[in-house]
Amino acid sequence: MSLHSHHIRRHEAMSGSAFDTALGTIPRHELPEGIQDPDAAMRFIQDELMLDGNARQNLATFVTTWMEPQAVALIRSSLEKNIIDKDEYPQSAEIERRCVNILANLWHAPEPTGGADAVGCSTTGSSEAAMLAGMALKWRWRARREAAGLDATRPNLVMGANVQVCWEKFARYWDVEARLVPLEGATHLTAGQAAAACDENTIGVVAVLGSTFDGSYEPVAQIAAALDKLEASTGLDVPIHVDAASGGFIAPFLDTELLWDFALERVKSINASGHKYGLVYPGVGWVLWRSAEDLPSDLIFSVDYLGGSMPTFALNFSRPAAQVVAQYYTLVRYGFEGYRRIQERSRQIAGTIARGVEAMGPFTLLSRGDELPVLAFKCTTPAGWSVYDLSHELRTFGWIVPAYPMPEGMADTDVLRVVVRNGFTFDLAGMFLADVAKSVDRLSGRQNEAVAFHH
Ligand SMILES: *Cc1c(COP(=O)(O)O)cnc(C)c1O
């Protein structure tokens, strides 16, 4: 939730909408005194929400904007369920556990001993998952340091400057130095840089499977090998957490040869956003640990569960069960083959857009949609107009395509990013490319007019 500042406009009132709702005036920033008719209240809010962007033309977000009606029906029928009430809703708890086990298998976690469950849980998204995984790293590092009688007051976390903001949040909230490595020779963290940034106070390295800036995968296996070497020469044993917010639901289906998950011994935990390429509406993420050893037991709390107690690790207490149920639906409904087809199609569409953009001339691609179905491109200098102008121009056709500078190390490069998700089609891709071409023409024309006017 954004933290809205309190602009209290005491007497500002909302006049009735075009479809006069008979609400008269409703104050916007304070609780109305009277009671409203439910239909009128709904229409009043619907009218406002119409001003939000059109999800299908939103190429900015990674988050799912379309689900099947059957999934929506399941969500509706579990809306009132609180996932923490494991006693009251044991079947929802069971479904969460199945999802964790399915993901553990998909990500090659070692079999838990004695038929136990895999170690992990659902969260509200990858951000909460990052907090939990980061805490586990910090706790483990501190325990090791204290046991050895060493100072444990200056932890750091090594990551590329391209990490998602949740990692900077983790570092600030949990008092860990965010050791952000500037980009050098790549659009993300490289193995050599990661190992060079580690020292005895490093609680872990975050490797991102699918950078939010350009969709590229960080080389997890190479980072692991570099850390193996570091351990051999210095004795420092630095664990890896993989932030697979997007890639956790792409790589297992499309890049089956890629080594990035628990198949690598050094990978101790992984997070993913169920609500991104997991194909569920916003509100669900996952975090898994390699084994029970990697999740310190003093971070785990017990909740009552059918007369017994059930371990939980979460920042929230009450939270909807509906998204977890919806995740289980997508896993059961699509299966491996369904996910593979959906993600493959998104990747093909991203590739089509990348080739179209490249063929237009004035752009250079940073990524072409062959890792995450995401492409980033910059203007080939000098275009006379910027990616910000183009983003603005595309807005007039309804397309939402963000433009921004790359992180430290490449901060003088400004890019546009296109995220292809389930529900986007080859037809829409064609329309999008046509609108990019028109926007470029308009911008170039305007440029010429401006030049002509000067002379
Ligand atoms: C989106 C994203 C996050 C944050 O995930 P939420 O599910 O939105 O909280 C973290 N890391 C990466 C790489 C992401 O793409």
Average pLDDT along the chain? 91
Question: Could you identify the residue written with the tokens 């979460």?
Answer: 314
Query: Cα dihedral sign for 267, 273, 276, 277?
Result: positive
Q: How many CB atoms within 10 Å of residue 101?
A: 16
Distance CA 344, CA 251 (A): 10
Higher pLDDT, 91 or 99: 99
Give kind and range of the element (H or E) at residue 285. strand 285-289
Q: Give the distance (Å) from ligand 1 centre to CA of residue 245.
A: 5
Q: Give the distance (Å) from ligand 1 centre to CA of residue 57.
A: 21
Q: Is 328 in the pocket of ligand 1 (CB under 6 A)?
A: no
Q: How many CB atoms within 10 Å of residue 285?
A: 28
Contact 421, 215 (CB under 8 A): no
User: For a substitution probing ligand 1, which of 131, 212, 249, 327 has the most ligand atoms within 8 Å of its CB?
Assistant: 212
pLDDT (tens digit per residue) in 361-376: 899 999 999 999 999 9
pLDDT at 20: 47
Bond before 219 cis per omega within 30 degrees: no
Biggest CA pair distance of the chain: 84
Q: Is 134 in the pocket of ligand 1 (CB under 6 A)?
A: no
User: For a substitution probing ligand 1, which of 63, 132, 165, 166 has the most ligand atoms within 8 Å of its CB?
Assistant: 166
Q: Is 269 in the pocket of ligand 1 (CB under 6 A)?
A: no
Residue 342: CB partners within 8 Å, gap ≥ 6?
A: 279, 334, 422
Query: Which residue has a Cα nearest atom 2 of ligand 1?
Result: 245
Query: Which atom of ligand 1 is closest in space to residue 63's alpha carbon?
Result: 8
Q: Is 243 in the pocket of ligand 1 (CB under 6 A)?
A: yes
User: For a substitution probing ligand 1, which of 276, 287, 371 has the most ligand atoms within 8 Å of its CB?
Assistant: 276
Q: Give the distance (Å) from ligand 1 centre to CA of residue 164.
A: 6
pLDDT (tens digit per residue) in 386-424: 999 999 999 999 999 999 999 999 999 999 999 999 999
Q: Is 166 in the pocket of ligand 1 (CB under 6 A)?
A: yes
pLDDT at 255: 98
Q: Give the distance (Å) from ligand 1 centre to CA of residue 371.
A: 16
Q: Say how many Å lie between the first and final Cα of the chain, rounded.
A: 51
Question: What 3-state class would DSSP assign to 275?
Answer: coil
Q: Is 89 in the pocket of ligand 1 (CB under 6 A)?
A: no
- Residue 374 β-bridge partners: 419
Would you place residue 242 in the very low, low, confident or very high pLDDT band (cuts 50, 70, 90)? very high
Mean pLDDT on 150-165: 98
Higher pLDDT, 25 or 184: 184
pLDDT at 84: 84
Ordered by where they begin, the domains of the chain are 13-52 (no CATH), 70-331 (3.40.640.10), 344-443 (3.90.1150.160)
Higher pLDDT, 384 or 22: 384
Q: Give the distance (Å) from ligand 1 centre to CA of residue 273.
A: 7
Q: Is 125 in the pocket of ligand 1 (CB under 6 A)?
A: yes
- State the pTM of this model: 0.91
Q: Is 212 in the pocket of ligand 1 (CB under 6 A)?
A: yes
Would you place residue 11 in the very low, low, confident or very high pLDDT band (cuts 50, 70, 90)? very low
Lowest mean pLDDT among 80-84, 95-99, 194-198, 207-211: 80-84
Query: Which atom of ligand 1 is closest in space to residue 244's alpha carbon?
Result: 13
Q: Is 323 in the pocket of ligand 1 (CB under 6 A)?
A: no
DSSP code, position 33: S
Is pLDDT at 17 greater than 60 in this prediction? no
Q: Give the distance (Å) from ligand 1 centre to CA of residue 274.
A: 10
